[in-house]
Amino acid sequence: MKVCYFDTETTGLDPIKNDIIQIAGIIEIDKKVEGEFKFNCQPFSYENISQEALNVHGMSIDDIKKFDKPQVVYNNLINLFSRYLNRYDCNDKFYPAGQNIRFDIDFLKQFFIKNRDKYYGSWFNYRAIDLISLSAILEYTGSISVNNLKLETIAEYFGYELKAHDALEDIKMTRKLIREIIEKYINT
């Protein structure tokens, strides 16, 4: 099984009008980490950058202007993904995985579209693995008790400290928690 754990940092909450400014991930094949990536990316548009998003990420417009152009990051992603799977083989796709992964999937799909590529599905299947969903099930069954399902809260519950909002650090923690939940609650 091929899994691409990924996280995005964005200029706002709307994947149509806002953009990815950081994407990071971990490539896992048959439960073994095969690679990590982290790309900082200029937005397609500087007009829709939310100040709140910049505050969350601790970045400024000047910082973001130093990042790679979106087309460069897109090409880097395609080259990276091509090392691990054949986009033309419908049985060779990544499982997308992350914390609230639908948010990140929506942004990545739009990132592809803004790069004139409508074939996100060439790389990823539709069966997402989501830490928030796993945590909600554990909470529902009484296996865990948390105040909310934020990544920091779940990490703290399992005894980890996290400085959130760096995409690579967030996704490393997300993978660690998903693997721990699977081992502790599902593979028992």
Same domain, 108 and 66: yes
Q: What is the pLDDT of residue 57?
A: 86
Residue 178 confidence (pLDDT): 98
pLDDT in tens, the chain (188 residues): 999 999 999 999 999 999 999 999 999 999 999 999 999 999 999 999 999 999 988 899 999 999 999 999 999 999 999 999 999 999 999 999 999 999 999 999 999 999 999 999 999 999 999 999 999 999 999 999 999 999 999 999 999 999 888 999 999 999 999 999 999 999 87
Are 122 and 169 within one domain?
no
Using alpha carbons, list the distances in angstroms from residue 151 to 55, 105, 119, 123, 132: 18, 17, 29, 26, 8
Taking alpha carbons only, the member of 18, 20, 13 closest to residue 68 is 20
Give me the number of domains the chain comprises. Answer: 2
Q: What angle in degrees, to the nearest 10, is found between the helix axes of 70-82 and 101-114? A: 110
**How far is 139 from 76, CA to CA, in rounded Å?**
38
CA atoms of 62 and 54, how far apart (whole Å)? 11
CATH number for the domain including 62? 3.30.420.10
pLDDT score recorded for residue 164: 80
Q: Which of 99, 98, 96 shows the shortest CA–CA distance to 112?
A: 96
Same domain? 27 vs 42:
yes
Instruction: Please report where in the chains the tokens 């990316």 appear, as a residue.
Output: 41
Residues 119 and 152 occupy one common structural domain: no
Q: Indicate whether 88 and 139 sit together in one domain.
A: no
The Cα–Cα gap between 25 and 6 comes to 4
CA distances from 142 to 96, 139, 177 (A): 27, 5, 17
One domain, residues 44 and 107:
yes
The range of the structural domain enclosing residue 33 comes to 2-130
pLDDT score at 45: 96
The confidence score (pLDDT) of residue 153 equals 97
Query: Are 21 and 86 within one domain?
Result: yes
Q: What is the pLDDT of residue 187?
A: 86
Q: Amino acid identity of 126?
A: Y
Residue 184: CB partners within 8 Å, gap ≥ 6?
A: none
18 with 101, same domain: the answer is yes
